[in-house]
Structure 1
Amino acid sequence: MSGQLQGQGLTFRLEAQSRTLIADLQPAPEAAPIDEVWLKARLAESGWAGLRISPEAVSALLEHYQQSRALAGLQLGECVDASLKITISPDRMQVLLDSEAAQGGEPISREQILDELKAQSVSYGIQSEAIDQAVAAGEAHGLCIAQGLAPVAGADGYLECLQPIVRSRVPTVDEFDHTDFRDLGEILTVNAGDRLMLRHPPTAGIAGCTVLGASLPATAGKDVSYAAALPGTSPAPDNPDLLLAAINGQPVLTEGGMIVEPVFAIESVNAASGNVRFNGSVKIRGDVQAGMTIQATGDIEVGGVVEAASLDAGGSIVIKGGAMGGLGHQEGSQRLLRCGGSFSAAYAQQARVEAGDSIFIDDSAMQCELCAVNNIHVGNSRRGQIIGGRAQATLSISARVIGSPNRVATLIEIGVNPVLHKQHQQIVKDREARENQLMEVSKLIDFARKHPGKVPAEMFDKAHRTAAALSSEIAEIRTEQQVLERKIERSKLSRVIAEQAIHEGVEVLLCGHHFRVFGEHGAGTISIGDQGLGFLSEEEIARIGAHKA
């Protein structure tokens, strides 16, 4: 293709072999002035606007034109084909395309891209739509045109509970160490042969693939097994993953599965029935008379009233009526209601109660000694009063009304449970002992490596196994230690909550601080603030919250 601009002395031609645009200049006596804009417009009219034009050549041409100097064979521009580059990510999971648009030359084609992918051994996950997009646009920058498949990890095995309502021996505590205020309900029973749990094995996962076609193995899920000993249960004869009840009793969730505790049911406990000691759960339909003793490794449920009696449960205690103790009376002062789980009663009067989890009383607690590891909550559908006596818990003590208008002395102790401190001290001691053992074993292993043949192979192998076991134990102890330390730290946030009123005569002890209530107050909270232990009304708490917001 060639062209001549009449009257200006300019001639342009595109040489097919070299694919370059050549300009010749033969000055004309009466040529009109031209500039770069004029020149580019003339090139566009001739169909050469898309070529790669050299700015230096344009400047040289204009300079010669203005000075009326002849010029021959100036390479003004060239035809440039589209270029492409594919980049494979270091993990071989992605291919990115970068391409520059053609300038008067051949545009990028689908075949070019596919040939380049083949040349670099890309065979998996090619994105046809993305390639078509790049071809249509004529250029691309960091466009993904092939994507590998990441492996999918297998799901962990798990134990599925097949019973609708099962009591757990493990307290339900949220991330703030607050126990769920739940209805403990009645004792659920199962019969021998009933389905309890189903073990689901882990899945293998789904393998992945790189863009080069290499397989990426998936990580299998973790296996889960039933605990070695689950009393009252047995595997199904035709399915070892299915756990069945071997006896009639109460199903209870535990670590690694479920157990079935025998349930001893009796109308009432009195002099005629005698004391009850049972390896399992006890259900009393009526009352428990004063002076009687009930001991159970599981739960104790009483449908009526408990007088000045002793109850000791490994699980929880549920009293549908009230609990009347013997505090203040010599013959009943030693009576204790104690449980490893939670304690629930309609009301309590002059009773001593100790719970390994929490205490829930619906109506009132009068002149009682209440001690719970986590929470004490008085008041659900009834009055909800704590009057007199002593209440001790680690996280919270709440009631609708605390104290009485008669200024009855009521002692509230909140904060760190001494048991936690003892547990923490023992855990630290156990961890240090194992760390010392690991240090000695590590010295033996190090000596054996530096002096081959000096230590028998059996001793060396045993040392390795011991070191691995000690390391695992230390890791578990550290985890338990961290949990306890978080509980101790959070106990500083413990509080006493009066939902409706708190009266003079109430004293609160929290983490070494002492607060005595003077006068009558409405709803509010006693906790540690900037000024130490003090009372904040609901209105003050709302104002502080609004200010912070």
Structure 2
Amino acid sequence: MGTEQQRGAGLSFRLDTEVRALIATVVPDPAAQPVDEAWLIARLAELGFGGLHYLPTAGMLLLAKYNTGGTVTVKLAEQVDAGMHIAISPDGLAAHLDIVPAQGGAGVTREAVLAALTEQGIEQGILDEAIAAAIAAGSAQRVVVAIGRAPVHGSDGRFESLLPEVRSRVPRVDESGHTDYRDMGEILVVHPGDKLMLRHPATTGRDGVTLRGEPIPPKPGKDMMYSANLAGTTFAPENPDLLLAAISGQPVVVKGGMIVEPLYKVDEVGTASGNIDFDGSVVVHGEVGAGMTVRATGDIEVGGVVESATLEAGGSIVIKGGAIGSLGRKSGAEHRIKCGGCFTAAFAQQAAIEAGDSIFIDDVAMQCELTAHNHIRVGNQKRGHIIGGKAQATLSITAKVIGSPNRVATRLEIGVNPSMHKQLLEMAKDRDGKENQLLEISKLLDFAHKNPGKVRPEMIEKARTTAGALGEAIAAMREEQDVLTKKIELSLQSRVIAEQAIYEGAEVLMGNQRHRVVGEQGACAIGLTEHGLARMPLEDKA
């Protein structure tokens, strides 16, 4: 204890309030015991000087003199006030406060913060509670102490359908490549004067204001306009944004609005009715007999069974019974079913079916040729078997059970059809041609602007009209190219999905990759992996 008391003998400290510093003095004392920096710092804390800003260089000199019996007076520590900095974000909408803690000196005051804000030109949007909390904490790092008013950007224009369950001719694949199974339902019929669709114009938005009071203009929304010549429709006299039915028929959502297609209804199609070729949609309440043909520019809906008949639709086809084709038969012509949208049926047997969107079959697809641009799904409420034949889809083929225990050959092709790459190249070439035309017209208009009177007015007007049409066409082509490119990218994640089982005899192809199923496999997905086309757990499906 005596030795501890002798440590520090001859060492004294004095706080000089004028220079705001701690002065340490060493006077030689024969009884003094050596000390180190740790002891010195602890001693300062005991004396109530621990919060001051310690000066290491002065401390080293002090210790050297003390431990060697020398004499010295040094400034060992000093009082340092808290530091403060205000930074404004690049968009001018937020002010950030940084506080460096005080070391024995004065802390930051509210008045100092407000003065710093005023100096920066900030007198509005000040957050008093945030300032008080930062001051109470004694330190702060990028604390928001003032905010401006961000602009409210305009919302894009949109079309609101005023009808339930309207069929669409717009592709329904989302960004993940998924298309939900759904019953296409009955064809909806509208009559003259019925409300179809309401256009909501784009909004301009609301100005924002920076912390310095400078206005921030909003981004206006992108407007949507009805397409020209929406067949079977008219506009409400009192409201040009309200689309009405002009005829009785089936409403169909198309790009740029909605059309109403004439609707042809017949009890059944056979020798008594003859073949049907209709500009619009067709509803067959009963069956379509063998050898008959039904063609429609819109949708086709059949309440019964289609047997060895030809169906062609610009839209979707719904067969509430089933489709029985003539594939594999020795006699008779081959009959095909083809549509630009989705195909839906209860079952299909020996049928050749092609859909521009997706194919949905509830029960069984037996010895069929199925081709869909997006998805094929067999199985909803019923068995969901694909047995034999060939199925080809860009994004996915899904069934509860694929193949059969007796090893029936079942060929499944996924991924991009080579024609899609060819189509993309042709679209790029066509777009380049139109962009070159637009460039030449732009040169003409630029020349006319710089040389008034040298180009006839009618030629200028024609050039402007052509330029506008070309611009719209190029924008539409660019959008189509983006959709096709995205589909090609999604196709690399294509899957064949067996939700319950897949049997030997099933063969999956993707480009030049091939996977043959061996034995009976349980629920699984088959797709492209780092090891090529291979089986994977169902949880890994895209």
Task: Decide: shared fold, TM above 0.5.
Answer: yes
Please report how far the alpha carbon of residue 255 of structure 1 lies from its aligned counterpart in structure 2 after TM superposition. Answer: 1.0
Q: Describe how 1:198-277 pairs up with structure 2 within 5 A.
A: 198-277=198-277
Look up the match of 1:128.
Answer: 128
Whether 2:424 is the aligned partner of 1:424: answer yes
Please report how far the alpha carbon of residue 436 of structure 1 lies from its aligned counterpart in structure 2 after TM superposition. Answer: 5.2
Question: Which range moves more in the overlay, 426-435 or 303-312?
Answer: 426-435
Look up the match of 1:5.
Answer: none
Q: Are residues 318 and 531 of structure 1, via their aligned partners in 2, closer, same or farther at CA, if it must alter by over 3 Å?
A: same
Q: Residues 28 and 70 of structure 2 are in contact (CA less than 8 Å); yes or no, is this contact kept in structure 1? A: no
Look up the match of 2:403.
Answer: 402
What are the ranges of 5 or more consecutive residues in structure 2 without an aligned counterpart? Answer: 1-8
Please report how far the alpha carbon of residue 303 of structure 1 lies from its aligned counterpart in structure 2 after TM superposition. Answer: 1.0
How large is the RMSD of aligned CA atoms in angstroms?
A: 5.1
Q: CA separation in 1, counterparts of 2:23 and 2:350? A: 112
Question: Which range moves more in the overlay, 464-473 or 143-152?
Answer: 464-473
Tell me which amino acid in the other structure corresponds to 2:501: Q
Q: Are residues 528 and 83 of structure 1, via their aligned partners in 2, closer, same or farther at CA, if it must alter by over 3 Å?
A: closer
Q: CA separation in 2, counterparts of 1:474 and 1:120? A: 48
Look up the match of 1:309.
Answer: 309
Q: CA separation in 1, counterparts of 2:468 and 2:196? A: 36
Deviations 1:34-74 (A, max 9, x none): 99999999999999998889899999999999999999x99
Tell me which amino acid in the other structure corresponds to 1:286: G
Q: CA separation in 2, counterparts of 1:101 and 1:258? A: 66
* SS of the residue 1:202 aligns to: coil
Percent sequence identity over aligned pairs: 53
Tell me which amino acid in the other structure corresponds to 1:159: F
Q: Are residues 148 and 37 of structure 1, via their aligned partners in 2, closer, same or farther at CA, if it must alter by over 3 Å?
A: same
Look up the match of 1:343.
Answer: 343
Tell me which amino acid in the other structure corresponds to 1:281: S
* SS of the residue 1:114 aligns to: helix
Whether 2:503 is the aligned partner of 1:502: answer yes
Whether 2:511 is the aligned partner of 1:511: answer yes
Please report how far the alpha carbon of residue 423 of structure 1 lies from its aligned counterpart in structure 2 after TM superposition. Answer: 1.5
Segments ≥4 residues shifted beyond 6 Å: 8-25, 27-71, 73-83, 100-106, 438-442, 452-455, 457-472
Deviations 1:337-358 (A, max 9, x none): 2211122222233333222222
Please report how far the alpha carbon of residue 181 of structure 1 lies from its aligned counterpart in structure 2 after TM superposition. Answer: 2.4
Please report how far the alpha carbon of residue 125 of structure 1 lies from its aligned counterpart in structure 2 after TM superposition. Answer: 1.4
Look up the match of 2:3.
Answer: none
Please report how far the alpha carbon of residue 496 of structure 1 lies from its aligned counterpart in structure 2 after TM superposition. Answer: 4.3
Tell me which amino acid in the other structure corresponds to 2:350: Q
Q: CA separation in 1, counterparts of 2:29 and 2:383? A: 115
Q: CA separation in 2, counterparts of 1:360 and 1:182? A: 8
Q: Residues 325 and 332 of structure 1 are in contact (CA less than 8 Å); yes or no, is this contact kept in structure 2? A: no
Aligned mate of 2:536, from 533, 541, 544: 541
Please report how far the alpha carbon of residue 301 of structure 1 lies from its aligned counterpart in structure 2 after TM superposition. Answer: 1.0
Tell me which amino acid in the other structure corresponds to 1:256: G
Look up the match of 1:521.
Answer: 520
Deviations 1:416-456 (A, max 9, x none): 335424422321322443465577679x69x979xx87996
Q: CA separation in 2, counterparts of 1:383 and 1:63? A: 93
Structure 1 length normalisation: TM-score?
0.74
Question: Which range moves more in the overlay, 117-126 or 379-388?
Answer: 379-388
* SS of the residue 1:333 aligns to: coil
Look up the match of 1:3.
Answer: none
Please report how far the alpha carbon of residue 299 of structure 1 lies from its aligned counterpart in structure 2 after TM superposition. Answer: 1.2
* SS of the residue 2:174 aligns to: coil
Tell me which amino acid in the other structure corresponds to 1:425: L
Q: Are residues 99 and 461 of structure 1, via their aligned partners in 2, closer, same or farther at CA, if it must alter by over 3 Å?
A: farther
Q: CA separation in 1, counterparts of 2:38 and 2:510? A: 86
What are the ranges of 5 or more consecutive residues in structure 1 without an aligned counterpart? Answer: 1-7
Tell me which amino acid in the other structure corresponds to 2:520: H
Q: Describe how 1:470-509 pairs up with structure 2 within 5 A.
A: 477=477, 480-488=480-488, 490-491=490-491, 493-498=493-498, 499-504=500-505, 509=509
Deviations 1:440-479 (A, max 9, x none): 679x69x979xx8799688999999988987876665455
Tell me which amino acid in the other structure corresponds to 2:317: I
Look up the match of 2:6.
Answer: none
Q: Are residues 270 and 141 of structure 1, via their aligned partners in 2, closer, same or farther at CA, if it must alter by over 3 Å?
A: closer
Q: Are residues 491 and 150 of structure 1, via their aligned partners in 2, closer, same or farther at CA, if it must alter by over 3 Å?
A: closer
Please report how far the alpha carbon of residue 364 of structure 1 lies from its aligned counterpart in structure 2 after TM superposition. Answer: 3.0
Q: CA separation in 1, counterparts of 2:362 and 2:289? A: 22
Work out the number of aligned pairs and report it: 526
Tell me which amino acid in the other structure corresponds to 1:521: E
Q: Are residues 146 and 295 of structure 1, via their aligned partners in 2, closer, same or farther at CA, if it must alter by over 3 Å?
A: same
Question: Which range moves more in the overlay, 129-138 or 294-303?
Answer: 129-138
Deviations 1:116-163 (A, max 9, x none): 433442211122223334554566565443222322222222222222
Please report how far the alpha carbon of residue 488 of structure 1 lies from its aligned counterpart in structure 2 after TM superposition. Answer: 3.8
* SS of the residue 2:306 aligns to: coil
Q: Are residues 333 and 204 of structure 1, via their aligned partners in 2, closer, same or farther at CA, if it must alter by over 3 Å?
A: same
* SS of the residue 1:345 aligns to: strand
Tell me which amino acid in the other structure corresponds to 2:145: I
Look up the match of 2:196.
Answer: 196
* SS of the residue 2:172 aligns to: coil
Look up the match of 2:111.
Answer: 111
* SS of the residue 1:184 aligns to: coil
Please report how far the alpha carbon of residue 402 of structure 1 lies from its aligned counterpart in structure 2 after TM superposition. Answer: 2.2
Q: Residues 318 and 345 of structure 2 are in contact (CA less than 8 Å); yes or no, is this contact kept in structure 1? A: yes
Q: CA separation in 1, counterparts of 2:20 and 2:180? A: 82
Please report how far the alpha carbon of residue 184 of structure 1 lies from its aligned counterpart in structure 2 after TM superposition. Answer: 1.8
Q: CA separation in 1, counterparts of 2:71 and 2:510? A: 102
Q: Residues 387 and 404 of structure 1 are in contact (CA less than 8 Å); yes or no, is this contact kept in structure 2? A: no
Q: Residues 349 and 368 of structure 1 are in contact (CA less than 8 Å); yes or no, is this contact kept in structure 2? A: yes
Please report how far the alpha carbon of residue 202 of structure 1 lies from its aligned counterpart in structure 2 after TM superposition. Answer: 2.6
Q: CA separation in 1, counterparts of 2:65 and 2:507? A: 104
Deviations 1:252-274 (A, max 9, x none): 21112222223222222222223
Q: Residues 527 and 536 of structure 2 are in contact (CA less than 8 Å); yes or no, is this contact kept in structure 1? A: no
Q: Describe how 1:370-385 pairs up with structure 2 within 5 A.
A: 370-385=370-385
Whether 2:172 is the aligned partner of 1:177: answer no
Q: Are residues 531 and 13 of structure 1, via their aligned partners in 2, closer, same or farther at CA, if it must alter by over 3 Å?
A: closer
Please report how far the alpha carbon of residue 237 of structure 1 lies from its aligned counterpart in structure 2 after TM superposition. Answer: 2.9
Q: Are residues 398 and 138 of structure 1, via their aligned partners in 2, closer, same or farther at CA, if it must alter by over 3 Å?
A: closer
Tell me which amino acid in the other structure corresponds to 2:273: S
Q: Are residues 22 and 349 of structure 1, via their aligned partners in 2, closer, same or farther at CA, if it must alter by over 3 Å?
A: closer
Please report how far the alpha carbon of residue 215 of structure 1 lies from its aligned counterpart in structure 2 after TM superposition. Answer: 2.1
Q: Describe how 1:128-167 pairs up with structure 2 within 5 A.
A: 128-136=128-136, 142-167=142-167
Q: CA separation in 2, counterparts of 1:512 and 1:15? A: 87
* SS of the residue 1:242 aligns to: strand
Q: Residues 153 and 221 of structure 1 are in contact (CA less than 8 Å); yes or no, is this contact kept in structure 2? A: yes
Deviations 1:484-517 (A, max 9, x none): 344345445545455434354x565542456667
Question: Which range moves more in the overlay, 91-100 or 340-349?
Answer: 91-100
Tell me which amino acid in the other structure corresponds to 2:536: I
